[in-house]
Amino acid sequence: MSNLTALSLELITALAALLFLIADAMLPKEKRGYLGYGCIAFLGLLMFGALTMGGPETLSAFGGRIVLDPLALFFKQLSIAIVFLVALLSVDVMKKLPDGHGEFYPILLFILTGMMLLAGATEFVTIFIAIELISIPSYVLAGYHKHVFKSSEAGMKYFILGAFSSALLLYGMSLVYGATGSTQLSEISTALQKLPLESPVSSGFGALLFVGLVLMMAGFGFKIAAVPFHLWAPDVYEGAPSPVTAFLSVGPKAAGIAVIIRVFLLFLEPIQHHWAHLFVILAALSMVLGNLLAIPQRNLKRMLAYSGIAQIGYVLVGLVAATNLESPGGTAQLGISSAMFYMAAYVATNLAAFSVVVVFSCLLGKEEISDLKGLSRLYPGISFCMLIALLSLAGVPPLAGFMGKFYLFSAAWSAGFHWLVGLGVLCSVISLYYYFMVIRTMYFEESPIELKLSLTWPQKLALGVTTLSILFIGIYPSCISTVTLEAARLFLP
């Protein structure tokens, strides 16, 4: 069934981005601040529309190259929520820039278009276009403070490494195309079932596919900042404007996980023995190195960068559980559902932490952990939000992060990956050290100066929504798990 409804959210968002660009050109400089509020209102309406869509039927457009199924809809809704919260955090920051800021919101909307397109893409060319629609504007945002050296450096590093990863991804896709003769994922899956693929080196096709899959995994690994493709993250997180860092910490990762689930766990399932062990390695390395490298950090954004690397390792545990390496019957539904659930929990948790970072970094110019001394005495509300976020990242009950890890580790245990679950639990315990280091600074150390913060309603709304989401998802996990389980069930053949 061909239906442009499958592409309706993307078309509306792209049109809105163009309209915001025109408005930016026509409005006088002193009134461009209203574009931020307009963007927030538009994203709120778009989320309402996305929540009213859906159903068990899969819609498709352009010959099946783009689909709207429960998996795509879940990640589209998550993408809208991410950009909505980032817009809330950005409004007051952008107003203070001397060179104008009106183009910031169209750029965000173009990125959102790419994220939603990627969630439903089922063809290599479409996937690559969607990834570049996310990546290229993200390079611009990373260097948005063009008069600040660290920001310019972050944008340049992100661009160079991102371009290299895109080249690897495209080359990997071309090798898979050469082995199968198609860029359509469904046709590739059919072709794979007919090829002699007993081992990666048993035939020319096997070797070609294996190299192609490794290169594709490297390209996707960069987008989600998994070890060893994480080297860009700490420097870019530290140098980019804080609202942009907040977006980069969750946006590309959510979109990347969506496409990895669709490409590897559905359409490349016939050659799972070629790539599944690579997922295990990525998950283990990301959890271990992410947590260990976060310990010595004293800059809050760099610490959250390494924390994010570890968090993506936990998500990969869920994807590993969706394979049938250890469990012949497979636990694909539980694995995919747990990864989706944890991404939703991670988005709320990490954006809650970055809401506090935005307040300190952009209003006071402070980003060091030591700058949080005495925060609980001066601003108990902000301290509470940060406390909840850090405890959730650590996996402390009854918060969203705990339930997410519980589902991930339960799925992995059921799939037979007992050692990986043990490693994940150990890494979670290690993470308590650096999270509690921040908590100790806020609650048990005195500030040498009196901090003066004045929060606006968008910042208060962002803090409130994310903190309440962490508590709500943790206490009532079925509000998300029911959706993710159903999406995984309908997604799988």
What are the tens digits of pLDDT across the range 31-44? 777 888 899 999 99
Q: What is the pLDDT of residue 102?
A: 74
Domain, as residue range, for 372? 268-493
- Check whether 89 has a pLDDT greater than 80: yes
Q: What is the pLDDT of residue 259?
A: 93
Q: Which two tokens stand for residue 172?
A: 């990997």
Residue 38: inside a domain, yes or no? no
Q: What is the pLDDT of residue 201?
A: 45
CA distance 311 to 291: 9
Residue 418: inside a domain, yes or no? yes
Of 129-138, 140-149, 274-283, the poorest mean pLDDT is in: 140-149
- Check whether 380 has a pLDDT greater than 60: yes
- Check whether 327 has a pLDDT greater than 70: no
Q: Are 437 and 369 in contact (CB under 8 A)?
A: yes
Q: What share of the chain is helix, strand, coil (3-state, %, to 5)?
A: 75, 0, 20
- Check whether 196 has a pLDDT greater than 70: no
- Check whether 369 has a pLDDT greater than 90: no
Q: What is the pLDDT of residue 360?
A: 80
- Check whether 267 has a pLDDT greater than 70: yes
Residue 420: inside a domain, yes or no? yes
For residues 423-458, one letter each, b for 16 or more C-beta atoms within 10 angstroms of the residue's C-beta and e for the rest, the string is bbeebbebbbebbebbbebbbeeebeeebeeebeeb
Q: What is the pLDDT of residue 63?
A: 79
CA distance 104 to 298: 30
Torsions phi, psi for 123 (to 5 deg): -150, 140
pLDDT band at 195 (very low <50, low <70, confident <90, very high): low
For the chain, percent of residues with pLDDT exceeding 90: 46
Residue 197: inside a domain, yes or no? no
In terms of C-beta density within 10 A (0-12 exposed, 13-18 middle, 19 or more buried), how is residue 52 classed?
A: exposed
Q: What is the pLDDT of residue 325?
A: 54
pLDDT band at 25 (very low <50, low <70, confident <90, very high): confident
Q: Are 119 and 257 in contact (CB under 8 A)?
A: no
Q: What is the pLDDT of residue 200?
A: 45
Q: Are 295 and 236 in contact (CB under 8 A)?
A: no
Residue 276: inside a domain, yes or no? yes
Average pLDDT over residues 335-340: 91
Average pLDDT over residues 273-287: 87
Residue 154: inside a domain, yes or no? no
Of 38-42, 65-69, 145-149, 241-245, the poorest mean pLDDT is in: 145-149
Of 2-6, 164-168, 185-189, 467-471, the poorest mean pLDDT is in: 2-6
Q: What is the pLDDT of residue 62?
A: 81
- Check whether 204 has a pLDDT greater than 80: no
Q: What is the pLDDT of residue 451?
A: 63
Task: Give the torsion sign (CA, 119, 356, 462, 139).
Answer: negative
Residue 460: inside a domain, yes or no? yes
- Check whether 329 has a pLDDT greater than 50: no
- Check whether 1 has a pLDDT greater than 50: no
- Check whether 149 has a pLDDT greater than 60: yes
- Check whether 78 has a pLDDT greater than 80: yes
Q: What is the pLDDT of residue 100?
A: 59
Average pLDDT over residues 457-466: 91
Q: What is the pLDDT of residue 219?
A: 92
- Number of domains within the chain: 1
Average pLDDT over residues 166-192: 87
Q: Which residue has the higher pLDDT, 57 or 297?
A: 297
Of 95-104, 174-183, 235-244, 387-396, the poorest mean pLDDT is in: 95-104
Q: Which residue has the higher pLDDT, 149 or 169?
A: 169
- Check whether 99 has a pLDDT greater than 70: no
For residues 72-93, one letter each, b for 16 or more C-beta atoms within 10 angstroms of the residue's C-beta and e for the rest, the string is bbbbbbbbbbbbbbbbbbbbbb
Residue 294: inside a domain, yes or no? yes
CA distance 46 to 40: 10
Q: Are 158 and 132 in contact (CB under 8 A)?
A: no
Q: What is the pLDDT of residue 242?
A: 87
Q: What is the pLDDT of residue 448?
A: 63
| For the ranges 46-55, 223-232, 404-413, the one whose mean pLDDT is highest | 404-413
